[in-house]
């Protein structure tokens, strides 16, 4: 379900018509591409569920790390999949405790749309993010329990790989890439796009970009027309699960 950064080197070289590429340049391109792809798309290997935490009464903003598992606290939260709050204090279900632990999902809103509620104590209904802080509205008037399901940024052993830093490049080559195996080819294309201009393959870069993201018609039509690229053809695990599971629909009538 995952692979090493070094596993991509041969594929990248092949896409660049076997041009010679320094290991430092290769690994830095792969590193940047990992950050880009794991920020823009969902990756199950980076998803997790945070602990059940208690909010602080009359405090409406929290660091994202407040909702993360301890080991993930230094990482940024790229995506929030769900944000659940309990109506009453959470208690662990057991034979002697039949508590229902009722609650609901907080809905995301832009900061300007909940500005008033941010300053009014009550039961939180919405959440937003501003300046790397998570805000809840209404301002919690009690120590409510909640938890978050999220995707973190990709943990990396190297922050940046300088063109002459062969030690850092060698260390990053052993980096485990937390992406599904079918994304290895996509990562190779993304890295090759970054390297192509440095090995006099500027025209090749356009070809690689089209193969990865789809032709111009596909990109400008938001995927409605044209030929899709590799990324579009890779569906997430969640989409595959939904495609093979019975789903329930509810008819909603509007006013005439």
Same domain, 82 and 23: no
Q: Residue 256 has what pLDDT?
A: 47
Q: Is the pLDDT reported for residue 96 higher than 80?
A: no
Residue 79 has pLDDT above 80, yes or no: yes
Write out the two tokens for 19. 């041009």
Q: Can you tell me the mean pLDDT for 87-112? A: 80
Residues 31-57 have a mean pLDDT of 95
Higher pLDDT, 253 or 172: 172
Report the domain count for the chain: 2
Tell me whether residue 122 is in a domain.
yes
Q: Is the pLDDT of residue 131 over 70?
A: yes
pLDDT band at 234 (very low <50, low <70, confident <90, very high): confident
111 and 79 housed in the same domain: yes
Tell me: do 148 and 177 sit in the same domain.
no
Residue 222 falls inside a structural domain: yes
Q: What percent of the chain has pLDDT over 90?
A: 73
For residue 131, CA distances in Å to 63, 76, 128, 153, 195 come to 10, 12, 10, 17, 33
* Residue 249 covered by a domain: no
Distances (CA, A) of 212 to 98, 144, 148, 159, 191: 52, 45, 32, 25, 11
Q: What is the mean pLDDT of the chain?
A: 89
Predicted pLDDT of residue 250: 56
Band of residue 91 on the pLDDT scale cut at 50, 70, 90? confident
Residue finishing a domain among 131, 152, 173: 152
Q: Provide the pLDDT for residue 127.
A: 97
Read off the pLDDT of each residue in 13-24 and give the average, rounded to a whole number: 96
211 and 173, same structural domain? yes
Helix segments in the chain, DSSP class H: 9-15, 23-40, 166-173, 184-195, 202-213, 216-220, 230-233, 237-243
pLDDT digits (tens, 9 = 90+) for 190-215: 999 999 999 999 899 999 999 999 98
Q: What is the pLDDT of residue 218?
A: 86
In a domain, 244, yes or no: no
Residue 197: inside a domain = yes
Same domain, residue pair 38 and 69: no
Q: What is the pTM of this model?
A: 0.83
- Residue 243 domain-assigned? no
| Same domain for 211 and 91 | no
Residues 130 and 185 in one domain: no
Is the same domain home to 39 and 166? yes
Least confident window among 80-94, 103-117, 144-158: 80-94
Domain annotation covers residue 202 = yes
Same domain, 120 and 58: yes
| Cβ count within 10 A of residue 223 | 12
Q: Are 110 and 179 contained in the same domain? A: no
DSSP 63-80: EGGGGS-GGGTTS-EEEE
Domain of residue 182, residue span:
3-44+155-237
Same domain as 167, residue 143: no
Are 143 and 79 part of one and the same domain? yes
Q: Does some domain include residue 113?
A: yes
């Amino acid at each position: 379900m995952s692979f090493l950064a070094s596993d991509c080197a041969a594929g990248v070289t092949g896409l660049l018509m076997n041009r010679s590429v320094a290991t430092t340049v290769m690994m830095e391109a792969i590193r940047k591409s990992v950050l880009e792809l794991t920020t823009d798309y969902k990756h199950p290997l980076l998803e997790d569920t945070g602990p059940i935490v208690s909010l602080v009464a009359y405090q409406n903003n929290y660091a994202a790390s407040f909702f993360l598992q301890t080991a993930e606290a230094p990482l940024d939260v790229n995506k929030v999949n769900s944000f659940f709050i309990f109506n009453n204090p959470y208690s662990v279900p057991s034979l002697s405790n039949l508590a229902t632990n009722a609650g609901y999902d907080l809905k995301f809103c832009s900061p300007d749309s909940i500005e008033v509620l941010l300053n009014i104590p009550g039961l939180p209904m919405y959440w937003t993010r501003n300046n790397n802080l998570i805000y809840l509205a209404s301002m919690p008037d009690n120590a409510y329990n909640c938890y978050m399901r999220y995707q973190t940024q990709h943990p990396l052993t190297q922050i940046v790989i300088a063109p002459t830093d062969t030690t850092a490049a060698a260390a990053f080559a052993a980096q485990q890439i937390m992406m599904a195996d079918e994304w290895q080819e996509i990562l190779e294309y993304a890295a090759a796009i970054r390297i192509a201009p440095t090995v006099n393959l500027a025209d090749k870069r356009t070809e690689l970009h089209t193969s990865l993201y789809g032709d111009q018609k596909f990109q400008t039509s938001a995927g409605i027309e044209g030929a899709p690229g590799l990324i579009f053809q890779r569906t997430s695990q969640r989409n595959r699960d939904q495609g093979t599971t019975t789903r329930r629909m509810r008819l909603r009538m509007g006013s005439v």
